[in-house]
Amino acid sequence: MLTATEAYLALNLLPNIGPIRVRRLLEQFREPQAILSASARELLLVPGIGEEMAAHIADWENRIDLPGEKCRLSDHGIELLTLDDPRYPAALRQIHDPPFLLYLKGTITPADAAAVGVVGSRRMTHYGREQARKFSFQLARAGFTIVSGLARGIDTAAHEAALAAGGRTIAVLGSGIGNVYPPDNQALADRITGSGAVLSEFPVLYVPDKQSFPLRNRIVAGLSSGLLVVEAPARSGSLITANQALEQGRTVFAIPGPIDRPSSEGCHRLIQQGATLVCTPDDVIDELGLEINALPLDFTESVSKSIPHQSPKEPAPPTRIVDLSELERRLLSELALGEATIDSLSAATQVPAGRISAALLQLEMKRLVRQLPGKYFSKAG
């Protein structure tokens, strides 16, 4: 006899069934196990269930590999959340078509109720990257969970900044958790599971397609109290996510960019249509009304330096104390010798490149290091 969770898993493995059809089936049959026990004739009585779908459900044991999927869940350390699970995010449960099953790697906590979705272009500019990192870092430090889609570009910058801030972040995949897309973000996904969660509504090894990304985007919006669009051209999947957020009653924020840059056309259009223009992370925090749990770093401040032409009668500027880890100090010492790449710094310090990248991001946020073209780094100033 199947458990309710196993029955939901079986339904999720059937193609093209979707959460709305499952909801209609539950209205008729009450329990997921009863759906799988129904005959094709009984299933046809449910609105939206045609002959092909009814045949697939009635013959489910011969059409899916339920034992194999359960083994894959175990192999990848994945848990399942149904709508009845108390850990299922309450905000997501309230949207029109919440996933009836979520694959989870990592943890969901009550603190994740205060979340900001951060989305934008895969082909980000330097400006977009810096804004994504600044906003995500400060929002994470202020107690928000950063939600994004683990895509290249703005998504990646947002997740990395949240981790660098010591905050929580949730990555929502358009693929299966056992088939992370893009593959080069597998290491990032692994790091996220230690400080948040990786979520998907798709089977473990699901290969992403054009339909899976808009489905993913509705979850990003649904998990979030507000959605921040950092940088988006006129035709961008981020605008779809913004529309989904508006339909779900979420606040949409947009960061303006240079008016002559195609990379910011989508944000400007959103602002014209009523999205909230934001210039600093405080604009987001004030709008959402969250009490700040930790003071954000002041990105406009840098370490005070002596001014060559300063009059001796002028008081010296106040010194800002910056806390540095041992690794951050070592990196600053290496960069004092000249520009360097992550790989060269890793070789010089005998520290893995992933840790070097995270430490450099922290130093960038503290305005002590800057990134140069060609993925070189140097001391700021």
pLDDT reported for residue 322: 57
Element (DSSP H or E) covering residue 171: strand 169-172
pLDDT tens digit sequence for 255-314: 999 888 898 999 999 999 999 999 999 999 999 875 334 333 433 332 222 223 333 333
Asked: is 301-381 a CATH 3.30.230.10 domain? The reply is: no
Residues 6+ apart with CB under 8 A from 65: 13
pLDDT given at position 376: 81
Taking only the tens place, the pLDDT of each residue in 364-373 is 877 788 887 6
Using CA atoms in the order 36, 39, 40, 44, what is the torsion angle rounded to 10 degrees? -90
Domain boundaries, the chain: 1-64, 104-288, 301-381
Considering the four listed CATH numbers 3.40.50.12780, 1.10.150.20, 2.40.128.30, 1.10.10.10, the one that applies to the domain covering 1-64 is 1.10.150.20
Query: In angstroms, what CA-CA distances link 44 with 28, 39, 51, 61, 62?
Result: 11, 9, 7, 19, 19
Listed as own residue / partner, the contacts of 81-87 with beta carbons closer than 8 Å and 24 or more positions apart are: 81/108, 82/4, 82/5, 82/8, 84/4
Nearest to 161 by CA among 37, 332, 281, 336: 281
CA dihedral 30, 36, 41, 42 (to 10 degrees): -10
Domain 104-288 -> CATH class: alpha beta
Residue spans of the chain under pLDDT 50: 291-321
Instruction: Please report the pLDDT score of residue 343 as a whole number.
Output: 87
Joined together, the tokens standing for residue 305 give: 């330096």
Report the pLDDT value the prediction gives residue 375, as an integer from 0 to 100: 78
